[in-house]
Amino acid sequence: MGLFKDEKTNRIILQPWKRDALEKFEAKILDKQKPFPCIPATQGYSLNHLRYGFVGDPRKISSIQELASLLTEFNQASKELGKYTSLIIFFETPMEWIRSYKVEQFEQLFWDLLNGLSDMDPFDWPSHIPKDPHNSLWEFCFHKEPYFMYCATPSHARRKSRYFPYFMLAVTPRWVLEEFNATPTLANKIRSQIRKRLENYDSVPAHPNLNSYGHEDNYEWKQYFLHDDDTSLSKCPFHSIKGPDPNDALKH
């Protein structure tokens, strides 16, 4: 199965776990009593700009291949899907993981997937994006397209904004975020509303790593996977880099 456009009449063709994942996602996005913090995501859902993909057991190489195929398809179609588009990926999550996996184990799995995905990328790293994750302008790229990666897991308890019953990714193209920021006054107003929603949604304060792309003290990789507390990794686990970095010449 390729990209899935969620229309309720289509759900009957899905396996039970896939249908369950979609229904739980819909419930999370449409919850009126406890609104989901990311307002652009709720707009993307209501406007049907979102697309969905289903991937098997994330431990398998075949699942990374499935993920690469979905992201390739999304890359080719995204600019026609609307300005709030994202690709939502649900993984078939083993029940023993849901019962016993810790946040840190899902974190390792997340970075294994990103490294594996990059290994399958036939294109070189874009020349305008630094290859060092500890550079404030770095972000994950695939098929020359920069993306913001969001991960949610069944193990997050206090940070409900990063909880989902299945291991899940939301992949948002950089151009979507640039369009959002194109009107600074409106963007700042929405950001303020998102922060207020976040305070009501999570039982812990906003993670200190939340920041804005391009700020000198910002590191995108630290926002991809947030811990359930305020801690974070000291070093980015991403290591798949292709070819020489043209920016290296500027350092000498």
Q: pLDDT digit string (tens) for 192-225?
A: 999 999 999 999 999 999 999 988 889 999 999 9
Asked whether residue 121 is assigned to any structural domain, the reply reads yes
Q: What is the CA radius of gyration of the chain?
A: 18
pLDDT at res. 251: 38
Q: How far is CA 79 from CA 15, 74, 168, 181, in A?
A: 29, 9, 23, 17
Q: Does pLDDT of 245 surpass 70?
A: no
| pLDDT reported for residue 123 | 96
If you average pLDDT over residues 119-144, what whole number do you get?
96
Residue 243 lies in a domain: no
Q: Could you give the number of structural domains in the chain? A: 1
Assigned domain for 131 exists: yes
Distance CA 119, CA 203 (A): 37
pLDDT > 90? residue 240: no
pLDDT value at position 214?
83
pLDDT above 70 as % of the chain: 94
The pTM (predicted TM-score) of the whole model is 0.93
147 in any annotated domain: yes
At residue 241 the predicted structure's pLDDT band, cuts being 50, 70 and 90, is: low
Mean of per-residue pLDDT scores for the chain: 93
The pLDDT of residue 246 is 42
User: In the chain, what is the straight-line distance between the N-terminal and C-terminal CA atoms, in Å?
Assistant: 48
Residue 47 included in any domain = yes
- Phi and psi for 143 in degrees, rounded to 5? 55, 40
Q: Give residue 1's pLDDT.
A: 67
**Structural domain includes residue 50:** yes
Residue 221 lies in a domain: yes
pLDDT at 91 over 80: yes
| 48-89 pLDDT per residue, tens | 999 999 999 998 999 999 999 999 999 999 999 999 999 999
Q: How many CB atoms lie within 10 A of CB 92?
A: 17
pLDDT score, position 7: 79
Range of the domain at 211: 8-237
Three-state secondary-structure class, residue 173: strand
Whether residue 245 is contained in a domain is answered as no
Rounded-to-integer distance, Cα 59 and Cα 185, Å? 43
